[in-house]
Amino acid sequence: MEKTYVLIADAHRARCYERKLPGHMLVELADFVFPHARLTPTTDAGDLTGAAGKGHGRTAHAGTQFEPHTEVPDKERASFAQQLADYLNAAVAEQRCQTLFLIGTGPLLGDLKPLLAPATAKALRRTAEKDFTHYTGPELCERVNRALELPD
């Protein structure tokens, strides 16, 4: 019998379920919570970024180079997406999962999908841009079933 995983996620919370086909029950396998990173001053009270990104690079010229600006929430979401991708990639590689559905917020799905290994991407059957992280029990199961039955 083919094992199906359903990942329900937003930028700060994710739960992975196994979807039991008879009755379409969801059995929770893992719960991920990514806490908000806190900005703390690293140099003086007015500088929240510190000196990160400054430097002379390999050319040893007297100029300054900076890394592209990325908002802290984007960095948090990208780190969380990597953690989720690692979990899903391992599940597929270890043959714990043959079919995958992703249900989540658009920004997180956008960060997560490129991080999936080729075998995991092949196992992916559908994505749905919805936030079901606040639902549990029969209501969650009903919403997931409806989201997965929608035509492409």
Average pLDDT, integer, range 81-97: 96
Q: Does 48 map to a domain?
A: no
Sorting pLDDT into bands at 50, 70 and 90, what band is 62? low
How many separate domains does the chain show?
1
Which residue's structure tokens are 């994505």? Answer: 127
Sheet holding 4-9, edge to edge: 25-33, 13-20, 4-9, 99-104, 124-129
- 59 contacts 89 by C-beta, under 8 angstroms: no
Flag whether pLDDT at 102 surpasses 60. yes
The span from the CA of 70 to the CA of 72, in Å, is 6
- CATH number, domain of 95, equals 3.30.420.60
Q: Considering only 20-24, 53-57, 79-83, 108-112, which range has the smallest mean pLDDT?
A: 53-57
Q: Does 53 map to a domain?
A: no
Q: Considering the entire predicted model, what is its pTM? A: 0.73
